Copies of this chain bind each other. A is one copy, B any other.
Amino acid sequence: MAQKVKLSTIAEALGLSTATVSLALRDSPLVADVTKERIKEAARELGYIYNRRAASLRTSRSGIVGVCVHDVMNPFYGEILKAIEHELDRNRQTFILCNHYDDLSKQRSFVDTLLQLGADGLILSPALGTPPADIRLAEENGLPAILIARTIDGAGALGFRGDDAYGMGLAVDHLVSLGHRSIAMIGGTRATSTGREREAGYLAGLARGGIAFRPEWRIEGPRSRHSGFDSAGPFLAIKDRPTAIVCFSDLVALGVMYGLARQGIRPGVDVAVVGYDDIDEAEIAMPPLTTVSNGQSEVGERAAGALLERLSGMEAREHTTLIRPHLRVRQSCGSPEAG
């Protein structure tokens, strides 16, 4: 490339000052329309590239928002992300993405990077074991944080997530209404708010149905398609095998279903399966998966909206907004409609 074109290049070419050029390029009403046109024209011709680092150094606004989740490849987060991306795009914010894979040090180094770049804000689904102090550190250094999917008490931040306990209750109630009296729960961990809430919802649902919980019904851990698949074996080994399963997530449920099918057990016929999240794939699974719709896009949209509001100066104090989930009945619990 030739000599770098900067504001002063344009200014000199036109016999104006850099101040005027700067103002004109940002459409300030302070500059006469004709002048503006000449300037923009020249900028285009010279191939001018706006230097955001310089501007941001001066204004201390970067137009960058960081988003950090467990793993983008998980469709649950993917769907939230799409909504965030859409909101941010409309507001001309650039977003930087990071997977923390529940590794606290990865999350920390990302927050650090954002701080160094002077990012305007952070949308975070916190890694396992994130201490509230980590969130406060960001806030104190001028990086407002919004929590999604998982929340952390005492962090003093806004959060948006589905009402997991209520949602899982819906799933259990549905199974009970279908006549099931022994219901297993596969997947999830108590180390996240999500895991705790969904388990609580499961237990509460059982209680409402007058069913005494049996510890062997609870297979903790799986949170991915693969680990769901692998838990088909342990499930089949439960003595007095339950007639129904609620899963921590759709991914786990899909894994469980194909794992069962591999062993000759037909999901939706031999055993009822309910998922959680209602990801896109649920409706075209085999069989179509009954699940709890968790409002991913609403979470993403509202989180982005809240951040944008904070950027425009709104104050906020700790508060978690619960999005209300609802049940989506398909064929994996038996086939009311034609399969």
Chain A residues with CB under 8 Å of chain B are 1, 47, 49-54, 56-57, 62, 72-73, 75, 78-79, 81-82, 85, 94-97, 99, 113, 115-118, 140-142, 225-226, 229, 255, 257-259, 261-262, 280-281, 284-286, 339
- Smallest CB–CB gap between A109 and chain B, Å? 9
Q: With A62-B53, A115-B49 in contact, is A1–B262 under 8 Å at CB?
A: no
Copies in the complex: 2
Cβ contacts under 8 Å, A99 to chain B: 85
Q: With A72-B78, A140-B1 in contact, is A52–B284 under 8 Å at CB?
A: no
CA distance A325 to B26 in the complex (A): 50
A interface, over-half SS: helix
Interface pair B284/A255, CB less than 8 Å apart? yes
Cβ contacts under 8 Å, A79 to chain B: 73
Cβ contacts under 8 Å, A78 to chain B: 72-73
Q: With A57-B57, A78-B73 in contact, is A261–B286 under 8 Å at CB?
A: yes
Interface pair A51/B286, CB less than 8 Å apart? no
Contact of A53 among B57, B140, B285 (CB under 8 A): B57
Interface pair A97/B97, CB less than 8 Å apart? yes
Contact of A258 among B97, B229, B284 (CB under 8 A): B284
Cβ contacts under 8 Å, A286 to chain B: 257-258, 261-262, 286
Interface pair A284/B49, CB less than 8 Å apart? no
Q: Can you name 7 A-B pairs with beta carbons within 8 Å? A: A1-B140, A49-B115, A72-B72, A73-B82, A95-B96, A225-B284, A229-B284
- Smallest CB–CB gap between A254 and chain B, Å? 9
> Can you add 15 more A-B contacts, CB < 8 Å, to A73-B78, A229-B284, A257-B286?
A49-B116, A51-B57, A51-B116, A51-B118, A52-B113, A52-B117, A53-B117, A53-B118, A57-B57, A72-B78, A85-B99, A94-B96, A96-B96, A255-B284, A258-B285
CA distance A56 to B55 in the complex (A): 12
CA distance A66 to B97 in the complex (A): 11
CA distance A156 to B60 in the complex (A): 37
CA distance A53 to B113 in the complex (A): 11
Cβ contacts under 8 Å, A52 to chain B: 113, 116-118
Cβ contacts under 8 Å, A284 to chain B: 225-226, 229, 255, 258-259
CA distance A159 to B262 in the complex (A): 40
Cβ contacts under 8 Å, A258 to chain B: 284-286
Cβ contacts under 8 Å, A117 to chain B: 52-53, 94
Cβ contacts under 8 Å, A280 to chain B: 225-226
